[in-house]
Structure 1
Amino acid sequence: MDSPVEIPFRSFIQLKPEENTAIYLQLVFEFIKAIQTGFLPEGTKLPGTRILCKVLSVNRNTLIKAFQDLESQGWIETLPNKGTFILSQQKQKSQTQYTFAKDQNQSELNLNTGFAFQRSTILENPTEISNLPYQFNDGMPDLRLVQTDVLARLYVSKLKRRKTSKTYEQIQLRSHLNFKTHFSNYLNLTRGIRISTSNLLTASSHEISLYLVTKVLISPGDKVVVASPGYYMSNMTLTNTGAQIISIPVNEDGIDTKRLKEICETSAIRVLYLTSNYHYPTTILLSAKKRIEVLELANQYGFVILEDDYDFDFHYDNNPVLPLAAFDSNQRVVYIGSFGKSLPSGFSYGFVAGPSDFIKELEKHQNILEPSIDVLKEQVLTEWITEGEVHRLSKKNKKIYKERRDYFVSLLNEKLADKIKFKVPPRGLAIWVEWLADFNLIKFQKECSNNGLFLPKTILYQTKNLTATRLGFGHLEKEEMEKAVSILKLSLETVLS
């Protein structure tokens, strides 16, 4: 990692004196966002307060107050005669998940409202928006490939059907059960899991599914193991439960199971959060040997495996690797995933598969968040599944995305072969690229922006021993890929020179 003075704090610590929020609170929020998104990696040593005050143009007492708040929440640690460091494992106390400004004057406390409220320092949205002509993301599908005409035809046909004498509640219940029946059969067929409707919960999004599971499964103080590097959105959701997050490294064949066992021998682990088939962000596949080890450890030490299969729809081989849930004979796996990521916004689904009693408990909480069912949407998707339209669309899209992956790989090899290393992923819409040279990714991001290419901060990963980027290709056509990779090459040459 760069020395503290060389870290470009002004590029990611954005203070707005014109706002009513106290500057010290703005500092707290901005530092937490920088830690969560990886701009201040674990173990980073911060410069002294006098130096940092000059860099950020703030009063020293204000900065000290912000650091005291950050330290009390467990984000930083000050060691006598050594300095201030970003903690390797944030051990936030459950009662300090929110910052409550009790010592501010009334105008600062209310923040332009007539009442006080809790402000989350965890759920800050790191998403960025840019109008630059070329953009990378972390692996999103191309919405231009959506077959809106087919969906529109099905929707119109449902709306034109004759009215029934049944009540809306009867229609809703019957329609939802019919959808769950066909959807569970679809999951059994495509993913090799063995579930019935009682083992399945469907939600409006993958994020809602994850939120519901963590709400029911995790209590404040529980120990949750995650891979590092990991997915910032799921880490935010898990941290928001008040859990103690424990990170374990990812090797060439998946998470470090030896380290996992060591942790289990000294601590009571509640949950292992795992993206086994396509680890986010590195795209590494958990090996068969480690799959068996993880299931055995869960059975031996009694923790729950929260398996997130977020990108199953995009695999390019004829025999996709099945999730751990397909081999779970001890009901230790809660399997969450997404469906219909290639469909128009509003048609995709999140789902949870698990023991029936657990699903019933999830439904109680879902009835508060999502009390109503979109009958037309479920009827349309049911018809798509029964008519085989989902399989046809999936097959067509996988062919297109495989061609894009292969072309993107050829461009990386052609223009950046001596600057990067990567493996061709068998699934997904992104490639994990590790840069061989030592340079600052924030400076690289700015140079790309100057040349018309947007790299969001959420795809940049930099630590003492790693400089990497997760480059999504699914949303790019060939000409767009060519231009984007050319800008990468040009910008890298500029930064290195």
Structure 2
Amino acid sequence: MFPYKTSIEFDRKCNQPLYLQLSNQIIQFIKNQQLPPSTKLPGSRTLAEQLQVHRKTIVACYEELLLQGWVESIPKKGTFVHHNLPALAQQKLDEITAYDVKKTTGFPFYKNAILPEKPGDKQEDFMYLNDGISDGRLTPIDDIARTYRRISAKRNTLKHLSYGSTYGNTTLREVLATYLNSTRGLHITKENVLITRGSQMGIWLSSQLLLQKEDVIVVGATNYGSADTTFLHRQASLQRVSVDKDGIVTDEIEKLCKQQQIKAVYVTSHHHHPTTVTLSAKRRIHLLNLARQYNFAIIEDDYDYDFNYNHAPILPLASHDTNGNVIYIGSVCKTVAPVFRIGYLIASKEFVDETSKLRGFIDRQGDALLEMTFASFIKSGDLDRHIRKVMKIYKQRRDLFCKLLKDELGDVFEFKIPKGGMAVWLKLSSKYSWSVIAEIARKYKLEIGAWERYDLANSQHNCIRIGFASYNETEMNELIHRLKITVEACKHITVKE
């Protein structure tokens, strides 16, 4: 019996032709064994009358099923479900929910406990702490869009629509080399530049070439969690050294070098992540000398070079490197907006050549049109104008955020006003724990996030990093308000861990 009377439905507002809607439903009947092999289908005229569609719709449907191999046409007998179709082994739909279908997997696969869970979709009425991101509302989107349209309209742009270089767009590499030479004191050419999808991609590529199982990489006792995860994913051995007011303690690195072979040191020298402190000049020189003496790489992640409020930015380690030890990583994402996935990896030509080969296997090339757009955006001076504009705004937000913290929660948090960057490093009073704060905060529609990532070394420092740049004055006041009532609620229930 053909199950058409109650089961077949047509959506006449849908863009999909009726014959395809019908053929897809018949296929489902076959898969569900409602139409077993060798079942005869109604004649095209009969089925057309029953379904109240044109006969040509049924003919086209049967032809589609024939082409896909679901049915067979037997001369002078009619159209039949193919006799040789194996039964599809599957659970009945009434035994499982649609949620189960999407959640469960019918095959074994490897899971990696090192990789952290990523947050799901955000709820509209919640406020979310971040660890220092730019305010997308300040992005010069109209200027970028105009440049993108102008570049896209040029005839000579057509050649960039095919496969390009795994190094990234040549024009952007040339512009970045010039820009970084003038602003960061580097001495590079485009051959030293690989365009990436952001800083994290640069860290990942570097780790793939530098580290194998049990190779030693030195990081701070507090460190950027995603970098730690990247190195652990390579099964490297992380050796942690102290971080104080002058940055990562290089004397401890020297002791490690005398004890074992070091493959690399990871640093965020300008504003240490997460504590925001700056690596002192003395330690910069010491670290470079150690790299040269002990032949290890320095992965310098300069994630927020442009944001310095008290003085001019300090030149990166890469500007003083004459021995090819530094891999310098940065991005446009933090400066303009995270959605623009454009970053760079600067190193010796030899290293860049190898990273470009590796990059070609995971990401054949970047977005050439977007890269050309940002080449123009940088060369025209628009990037520098944007930086000057947001610097003033972010400085005001830093000052307001720190004032509100001091006035409203000064008995709860200890912190120093950061000289740069887009976040504050906060130490919670020992009376409280972040686990309890995070749980109670959700009652007031405030999401603290994965606070544990700031203490992967399990030193119990009770600190987290909170960004300020992405909140305007109204939002900042509301954020502090929710944090304050959370703390008030915790006073009655918090137990020291």
After TM superposition, the score normalised by the length of structure 2 is: 0.73
Per-residue CA deviation, residues 158-193 of structure 1 (Å, 9 max, x unaligned), is 222235796866987999222211111111122111
Matches within 5 A, 1:217-228: 217-228=210-221
Structure 2: runs of 5+ lacking an equivalent: 1-102, 493-497
The aligned counterpart of 1:372 is 365
- Check conservation: 1:459, 1:470, Cα contact below 8 A: no
In structure 1, C-alpha distance between the alignment counterparts of 2:166 and 2:256, rounded to whole Å: 45
Q: CA deviation at 1:302?
A: 1.7
2:183 pairs with 1:196: no
Question: For the residues of structure 2 that align with 1:396 and 1:436, how far apart are their CA atoms?
Answer: 36
Looking at structure 2, the residues matched to 441 and 170 of structure 1 have their Cα atoms a distance apart, in angstroms, of: 48
Contact 2:197–2:366 (Cα < 8 Å) also in 1: no
Corresponding residue number in structure 2 for 1:267: 260
Q: Is the 8 A contact 2:168 2:365 kept in 1?
A: no
What is the identity, as a one-letter code, of the residue corresponding to 2:172? F
Q: How does 1:61-460 map to 2 (within 5 A)?
A: 112-127=104-119, 129-131=121-123, 132-162=125-155, 176-458=169-451
- Offset at residue 224 of structure 1 (A): 0.9
Provide the residue aligned with 1:470 in structure 2. Answer: 465
Are the aligned partners of 2:300 and 2:327 in contact in 1 as well (CA < 8 Å)?
A: yes
Distance 1:112 1:167 in 2: 41
Conservation of the 8 A alpha-carbon contact between 2:398 and 2:469 = yes
Equivalent position of 1:5 in the other structure: none
* Distance verdict in 2 for CA 1:484–1:264, change over 3 Å: same
Aligned 8 A contact 2:168 2:366 in 1? no
SS in structure 2 of the partner of residue 182 of structure 1: helix
Q: Provide the residue aligned with 2:485 in structure 1.
A: 490
Q: Is the 8 A contact 2:160 2:368 kept in 1?
A: no
RMSD: 2.4
Deviations 1:111-143 (A, max 9, x none): 954543322222233435542432211111111
Deviation string, structure 1 residues 432-479 (Cα, Å, up to 9, x no partner): 011233322111112222122221124775656521121111111111
Amino acid at match of 1:212: L
Q: Which runs of 5+ in 1 are unaligned?
A: 1-110
In 2, the alpha carbon distance for the partners of 1:392 and 1:219 equals: 43
State the TM-score, normalized to the length of structure 1.
0.73
Distance, in Å, in 1 between the alignment partners of 2:249 and 2:157 is 57
Residue 15 of structure 2 is matched in structure 1 by none
- Comparing 462-471 and 255-264, the one that deviates more: 462-471
Which residue type is aligned with residue 109 of structure 2?
F
Identity of aligned residues (%): 32
The 1-side partners of 2:190 and 2:426 are apart by 40
Cα drift, residue 422 of structure 1:
1.1
Please give the per-residue CA displacement for 1:337-391, whole angstroms capped at 9, x wherever unaligned. Answer: 1124343554241211111101000011111122234222122111111211111
Supply the AA of the counterpart residue of 1:122. I
For this pair of structures, how many residues does the alignment match? Answer: 387
Answer whether contact 1:309 1:323 (CA < 8 A) is retained. Answer: yes
Counterparts of 1:183 and 1:430 in 2: how far apart (Å)?
A: 26
Q: Quote the offset at 1:486 in angstroms.
A: 2.3
Deviations 1:244-297 (A, max 9, x none): 111112112111222222211111111111111111111111111111211122
Q: Deviations over 1:304-348 (max 9, x none)?
A: 111111111322245111111111122111111112434355424
